[in-house]
Every structure is written in C-alpha cells, then in structure tokens.
Amino acid sequence: MRKKKTWLIILIVFICILLSILNSIKYSFLQEDLLFFQFFNSINRNKNQADDITNLQEEILNQDNIRVEKNIQKNATTKSIIFEVEYKNTKLQDVNLAQTIDNKTLVNEKIAPGTKGDFEIIIKAKENINYEITFESKNSKPSNLQFYILENNRRYNTLEELNDILKGNILENEEKKILIYWEWDYETNKQNNMQDTIDAKKIREYNFLIYVKGY
C-alpha cells in the first residue's frame, strides 16, 4: 500500500513537471509569435508611411505643375477681347489688367512696379459701320502706370485719354485688331519711387470697362 502511494506521488510530480514544461514551451512560442507580429506590423507601418510620403510628394509636385501650367496658359499669349459691332448698339467688356501681364514680369499674379503687358481689342462687323472705343476705370490705377499704342510714340497716363483716338470705320466681314500696351515703370526718380511704394501696397488690381459703340 505504501509502495502504491509512493508511485502515485511520483506520477503526480512528473505530470506537474511535464505540464510546467509544456506551459513554458507554449509561452515561448507565444512570445515569438508576438515578436514576429510586432516586427511584421512595424514593416507594414513603415511601408505605409513611406507610401504616404511618396503620395504627398507626388500630390505637391502635381499641384505645382498645375499652378505653373495655369500661369503659362494665362500669360503665354496676348489677351484678346472680341466685339461684334452693331449699328446703334454699344457693347462692353470688364477687364482685369492683372490678366494681361507679360509672364516674364509676373509678380505674385498682381500688378506691381516693373510689370508690363498688353491686350488686344478685336472688332468684327457684318456690315459697313462706324465704331468708337472708349474706356472707363472702375478703380484707381497706379500713378506711374502708362499706356501706349504702336500708331504713335506718345505715352498716355490713363486709358480714358485714348477715347478720342480709337474710332473709325470697319467694312463688312472685316476684322480689325487694336493692340494696347501698358507698363509700370519704376526707379525713374526719387519722387516716383515713393509713389510706386505707396501704390504697390494699396493697389493689387486695376479693373476697367471697354465700350464699343456702332453708329
């Protein structure tokens, strides 16, 4: 009887030891699995971060390309303003001078000392007719910004000074083009420089109306 108890105790101890060893092995495998998953997740996280950075860089680059493309498209050619002249009828167009800036002198997409540009008025008619072009400023322009046309060597301080010049006759199905240049000269003298500084701070745009009357 005593011998049976001894063997029973030995068996229980052996089973306990075996269970302890199995638990230890299981825990070890769990730790290894956990480390593996942590490592795997770390790789995926780093890859995702790298992909996010790459995508962000591509998005920024695309936005820059779009902005550059817009500026090139907007300033690559002379702005043309087309009028169909009709008898006893007046038509008008609203123009922002900043949209006619020469791309080479562009400064933050606004008029500024040193910028220049041009715009073209195109007149068409379906009959022989007289026409008259006039301008009306919608806000103050920079004092030293001037206008000129190729027909003469004179510079004009305002567009309104051209009102008595741009008139004439157009034939049936004829197309006339009138090119008007503008330039904001700078560093001409001390007094003008001071005025340029004042105007550059308060005038970002110059807007005006073009009227074409047929008679």
Q: How many CB atoms sit inside 10 A of residue 81's CB?
A: 18
Per the DSSP assignment, residues forming a β-bridge with 149 are 180
CA 136 to chain centre: 29
Nearest in space to 135 (alpha carbons), one of 160, 118, 158, 156: 160
**pLDDT reading at 19 higher than 90:** no
pLDDT tens digits, residue range 106-136?
777 789 999 999 999 999 999 999 999 999 9
Do residues 104 and 29 both lie within one domain? no
Do residues 164 and 62 both lie within one domain? no
Do residues 45 and 109 both lie within one domain? no
- What contacts 173, CB < 8 A, 6 or more positions away? 124, 125, 126
Do residues 128 and 89 both lie within one domain? yes
Can you give the residue range of the structural domain that contains 186?
78-214
Do residues 94 and 116 both lie within one domain? yes
Q: How far is CA 208 from CA 54, 94, 135, in A?
A: 45, 6, 7
Number of domains in the chain: 2
Do residues 151 and 186 both lie within one domain? yes
DSSP SS3 for 158: coil
Do residues 57 and 82 both lie within one domain? no
pLDDT tens digits, residue range 51-83?
554 554 455 445 544 443 344 344 444 789 999
Residue indicated by tokens 């105007």: 199
Do residues 117 and 173 both lie within one domain? yes
pLDDT of the residue at 110: 84
